[in-house]
Structure formats: structure tokens, C-alpha cells
Structure 1
Amino acid sequence: MKRTFHLLFFILLMTSCSKTDIDNDHGFYYWRSKLILTENEQQLLNNSKAPNLYTRFFDVVKENDQFLEVGVISIDKDLSINKKIVPVIFITNETWFNIQPNDIELMADQINEHINRIKSNNNLDLANEIQIDSDWTTSTKVDYFKFLQTLKRVSKKNVTCTLRLHQVKDKLQTGIPPVEKMYLMCYATSSPLENQKQNSILDVKTLKSYLKHLDDYPIKLDVALPIYSWGIVTNHVGKKKLINALTAEELMQNKNFRKINDNNFEVLKDDFYFGMYLNKGFKIKVEEIPEKDILESINFINEKLDYKPLLIYYHLDERFTKNYNTLFQ
């Protein structure tokens, strides 16, 4: 009995320590096409200590040498939140291929004008910040960095940007952007379209390998962490496609899917599912992130840095947030 009591006390102590150690402030990304919040999402947002909601406004792609703004967000007319909004603009890496100096100026002007138009049309309270999300490479870094400087001059705002894992590991090749703060994206540790056993959204072992020398990175970082899921569909010849935001729970509730094991399912009937036509016999691997993996990642990052970064969870959607009780305490 005494031994059992000691064991129970040890387990409770370890559980308590794991929660107490994570005392970083947190906030959220918002990545849906319309900015509208449920009651639960509103409460989670209001309870977070971050002053901002990081909201994807639109994407920028290049087609026929023209810069197009696609997937522009719409705003709920009754939106009422107690946070400022940081516009996040995703720009494909291909946009920087063979770009000319006058194009950089033009694109910076267009993006700034469109952000201001969304602000005025919806009476939004924007932070003095624009965040750019672009997976730049060694060959595109010069033009991308020029763009960041140009947008800062044009907008007269603090321009920040995202940082991917490989850009930390290979910083000598990919370069350091000319910004004062960056957002480290601790997800997409591998490609979901390759055959592999590990979770492609977040594999902690892979994360630690990429961030081995994180403490050497010269710019202040906040940290983006994944709380989303997806399904990887494999057809009869091995080709793969993604179904975003798919959960194992959704498949288990549908009689047209058979559970093979913990996160693998088989399609039992030809039909349209989740916006995609799936044939009988197709396999689906659902990738979701256990809370313990996120906590381990946070502890690792906190040990690497001499400050507590803000944690920004990707993204604010109650389909996912309901699964992470410890993170939002």
C-alpha cells in the first residue's frame, strides 16, 4: 500500500511539473476563408494573453507574370473581438522567380493597399504589424529580403515573417531576413506525400534534429505550433492527395469507412467525401497531433532559448482546440 501511494504521488508530481513548466503566453492563427467565431472560439481567444489574432488575409501567386491576390478573407459583419488583428499574407516561393526590382515595388504597393482596403471595409482594428509567410530558398532570398524591406517602407509598419525548420538548420545558405522578429513554424517536419511511418505534421525527433542549434539563431522568435489534422489519401496505384482538416472521429462516424488500425482507414463505397471523389479500396491515413508531442516540443524550445517565446497555435478552430485541454489552461 505504501509503495502504491509513493508511485501515485510520483505520477501526480510529474504530471504537475509538466503542466507548470509550460508557462508561455499563447495566441492563435486564424486560417479559414471567413473570419467568424463560435462561442467557444471567442472564449478561447478572449482568454489568451496574446494581444493579437494572426489572421490570414489572402495569398499572392504569380500567373502569366502577374501578381494575383487569391483566397481573400471575408469578415463576419458582427465580429467583435478583444484583440488587434495582424494580417498574414502567404506568398508562394515561385513568386520570387525572375522577379524584377519594379515588380517588387509594385507588389509591396498592391499588398499594402489591399490590407488597408480590407481594414476600412470592415472597420478592423489592425496591429502595427504585417506578417509575411513565404518559404524562401537560397536562390530567392535576395529578392524576398528586398521585398520585406520595401513593404516596411511602403506600409510604415513593422514587417515580420515566418521561419521554417530547414531555414534554421541551413541559415548560412538561406540567409537571415532583415526583420526584427520572426515566427518559427514548428510543423510540416516532412512531406505528407511520401511513404513514411512518422507523422508528417509534427515528428518530435525530426523537429529536434532541425532545431539542434536554435539558440544560435540571431533574431527574436515567437513559435507557431500545430493543432490541426489532415487525411492522406492513397489510391490503387500509390498516388497520394491531402484532405485538410480531416479527423479520425469523422471517419469512425461514417459507415462507408473501415478502421484498419489507430489512424488508418479504408474506403468501403465509391462516392464524394470531404470535397473529393474516393473509390472503394482507397486508403486514408489520418495525422493528428498528440498533446504530449506539442508539450515536448515546447519544453525543448524553452530549453534552447533564453526567453519564453509566445506560442501561437495553428489554428483557432474548435474542431481541433477541443482536443487540447492542457495547452489553453
Structure 2
Amino acid sequence: MKNRLLIFCLLFLLSCGKLTSHEHTFYYWRTNLSLNKAEKTALNNSKVPFLYTRFFDIDKIEGKFQPVGVLTKDDSFKTNKKIVPVVFIKNEILYDIKPDEIDFLAKSIFNLIIRKGKQLQLNLSDEIQIDCDWNSGTNKEYFDLLKSLKQISHKNITCTLRLHQVKDRNFMGIPPVEKVYLMCYATSSPLENSLKNSILDVTTLKNYLDHLMVYPLKMDIALPIYSWGIVTNHLGKHKLINALSSEELKKNNNFKKISDDNFEVLKDGFYFGNYLSKGFKIKIEAVSQKDLDETLSFINGQITFYNIIYYQLDSRFIKNYNLK
């Protein structure tokens, strides 16, 4: 009897361990598909058979819906992963959109995905993911777009989910999909004057997600492994430089280190695609392994079965983390 009880306890503990062990993969968010050695290794070590790949953005230019930053590919991109196309849609274009425009947009999105998949010789999955920061003023239009895309494509349509869309779900609505991808980052605006880390402040995240367990859709979890630079000019105004690291600034003699994460521009010039004047200040924000671990521990207390999608697959950042 004692032996049976011991075996049962061991099996129970092992099963519990499995429940909190999650596989991972990545988002690919650059406009040109390419992989260096470190990125190939990280992707090959991932057991999830998908790579979530940004195909293009949708904006409205001169009154017409237009794809922006359409994906390209070079010869270095080779993977056995199936590609999940991800399309970012600006929330602003959904205001005052007409029903026939919704169907037109859904058809255009699907046709461009298929065309690019064939052109780039990508092994597309049966899933299409839509990324949009919808709100209570655009949720009906956005949800209609998701439904139309499902009807036109006959694909599995999924979408991203932001923190405020979880906390305010009664106002934001629940998207008409079977699965969402919870973005556990962008906890505040990087352009505000704040001492908090705007990529991931765990206390703020916990406040947004304190009732995550009651969200009625299956979800995977997107975690940040990147950094950015917040530039402050002489007037105290801010702008953001994405995917900027302290290492890049330390290597450049035109920047002076003020503290671990703060730098000063020493010479006027174009840097990282932006014109920066002498005296501008740059604050680097990054996510620590400790904050990632604390976030996962909190999520595990709310939901059980999920995969992790790290944002994003970039050799500048993946080396800094213990990817679980």
C-alpha cells in the first residue's frame, strides 16, 4: 500500500512538472528574411514547429488601404519551421470603415499572403495571425474583419491580445477566434516621463492580468527579448529607436556613457536611421532575465497550457537570455 502511494505521489509530481514546462518559438519582425548562425541555432533548438513571421503592415494612404514594409527574403533564410504569416493592422484605419471595405480588405490581405508565400517559397502553416491594438471604438469593425478573413481564407485565424484588452475585456470585447497570443510587454508608453521600464514592468503587468484565468479563449504567451532607445532632445521631447542596445552605443565613439543605461550624443549625425544632435540623451531600456522569470511564474499561477513566443528572433538579443 505504501509503495502504491509513493508511486502515485511521484507520478503526480512529475505530471505537475510537465504542466509548467512550456515549449517556445519566436516572432520574426524584420522586413527581410535572413538568419545568421546564432539565429539558426536558436530556431533549431526550438521544439515548436512554427515561426511567427511579420509579412506586412496595413495602413491607409491617400484614402486607400496599402501594404507597408512587405516581406522580402535572402538566400541565408532556410528553416524546417512552418511559417505563420502575421499582419499588423493600424487601428486608425478601422474607424468609419464600411462593410464592403472590410470584405475587400480581408480578401486583399489573404491574396497578398498567398502571393508572397509562393514568391518567397515559404512553407506556410494553416494559421494566419492578425496584430491590431483595437479598442471599444473599433472592436466591431475589427471582429468583422477577422470573421471575413476566416470565411475567405478557410484558414485558422488567430490574433494578438494586449494587456488592456484583457483588463477591460467587457468594453473591448472578445475576438471571434479560437486562440489569442497575449503580448506580455509594452506595459506603458516609452514616450512618457517615467522611472518604470516601459517594455516590461512586472508590477504593472500583474495589475493588468489579475483575472487572466477567466479569459475565455485559449492563448499562448509572447515575451519580450529586445531593447530600445528613448531619445530626449533639448526641449525634453522623446522619440523611440527600436532594437537599440547599450552595446551598440558603447562601441561608437560619438556617444558618451553617463550611466549603465544612459548615453549622450557627442556629435551631430545620422545614427540608426535617425538624425541626432549633439547633447541629445539616449536611455536604453531592456528586459532582465529576472523579470522574464517573474512574469512566467505569475502566468503559471493563472493559466496552465501554453507555448511561449519570444519577441523577437535577433542574435543581438537572444544571447542575453535563458530561453525556456
**Residues of 2 paired with 1:232 and 1:270: CA distance?**
17
Which amino acid counterpart does residue 69 of structure 1 have in structure 2? P
- Aligned identity (percent) is 58
- Whether the 8 Å contact between 1:302 and 1:309 is mirrored in structure 2 is no
Local SS of the residue matching 2:301:
helix
**Residues of 2 paired with 1:80 and 1:192: CA distance?**
35
Using the TM superposition, give the Cα deviation of residue 138 of structure 1 relative to its aligned residue in structure 2, in angstroms: 0.1
- Whether the 8 Å contact between 2:35 and 2:76 is mirrored in structure 1 is no
Mapping of residues 58-137 of structure 1, within 5 Å: 58-77=56-75, 79-137=77-135
Structure 1 residue aligned with 2:323: 327
Local SS of the residue matching 2:197:
coil
Structure 1 residue aligned with 2:207: 209
Structure 2 residue aligned with 1:281: 279
Which amino acid counterpart does residue 319 of structure 1 have in structure 2? R
**Residues of 2 paired with 1:66 and 1:52: CA distance?**
32
Structure 2 residue aligned with 1:300: 298
Structure 2 residue aligned with 1:314: 311
**Residues of 1 paired with 2:189 and 2:34: CA distance?**
30
In structure 2, relative to structure 1, the CA distance for the partners of 1:323 and 1:22 (3 Å cut) is farther
Deviations 1:234-261 (A, max 9, x none): 0000111111111111111222212112
Across the aligned residues of Structure 1 and Structure 2, the Cα RMSD in angstroms comes to: 1.4
Deviations 1:147-187 (A, max 9, x none): 10000010010000000000000000000000000000011
Structure 1 residue aligned with 2:12: none
Local SS of the residue matching 1:304:
coil
Which amino acid counterpart does residue 317 of structure 2 have in structure 1? F
**Residues of 2 paired with 1:243 and 1:280: CA distance?**
17
Structure 1: unaligned runs, 5 residues or longer: 1-18
What TM-score, normalized by structure 2, do the two folds share?
0.92
Using the TM superposition, give the Cα deviation of residue 228 of structure 1 relative to its aligned residue in structure 2, in angstroms: 0.9
Using the TM superposition, give the Cα deviation of residue 62 of structure 1 relative to its aligned residue in structure 2, in angstroms: 1.2
Using the TM superposition, give the Cα deviation of residue 78 of structure 1 relative to its aligned residue in structure 2, in angstroms: 5.2
Deviations 1:118-140 (A, max 9, x none): 11112211110000000000010
- Whether the 8 Å contact between 1:232 and 1:241 is mirrored in structure 2 is yes
Structure 1 residue aligned with 2:47: 49
Choose which of 163, 178, 181 in structure 1 pairs with 2:179.
Answer: 181
**Residues of 2 paired with 1:53 and 1:327: CA distance?**
15
Which amino acid counterpart does residue 152 of structure 2 have in structure 1? V
Deviations 1:273-294 (A, max 9, x none): 1121211111110001111111
Choose which of 153, 156, 180 in structure 2 pairs with 1:155.
Answer: 153
Choose which of 246, 250, 269 in structure 2 pairs with 1:248.
Answer: 246
**Residues of 2 paired with 1:22 and 1:244: CA distance?**
32
What TM-score, normalized by structure 1, do the two folds share?
0.91
**Residues of 1 paired with 2:244 and 2:168: CA distance?**
32
Using the TM superposition, give the Cα deviation of residue 75 of structure 1 relative to its aligned residue in structure 2, in angstroms: 1.6
**Residues of 2 paired with 1:275 and 1:108: CA distance?**
33
Which amino acid counterpart does residue 128 of structure 1 have in structure 2? D
Q: Which range is displaced more, 249-258 or 142-151?
A: 249-258
Structure 2: unaligned runs, 5 residues or longer: 1-16
Using the TM superposition, give the Cα deviation of residue 22 of structure 1 relative to its aligned residue in structure 2, in angstroms: 6.2
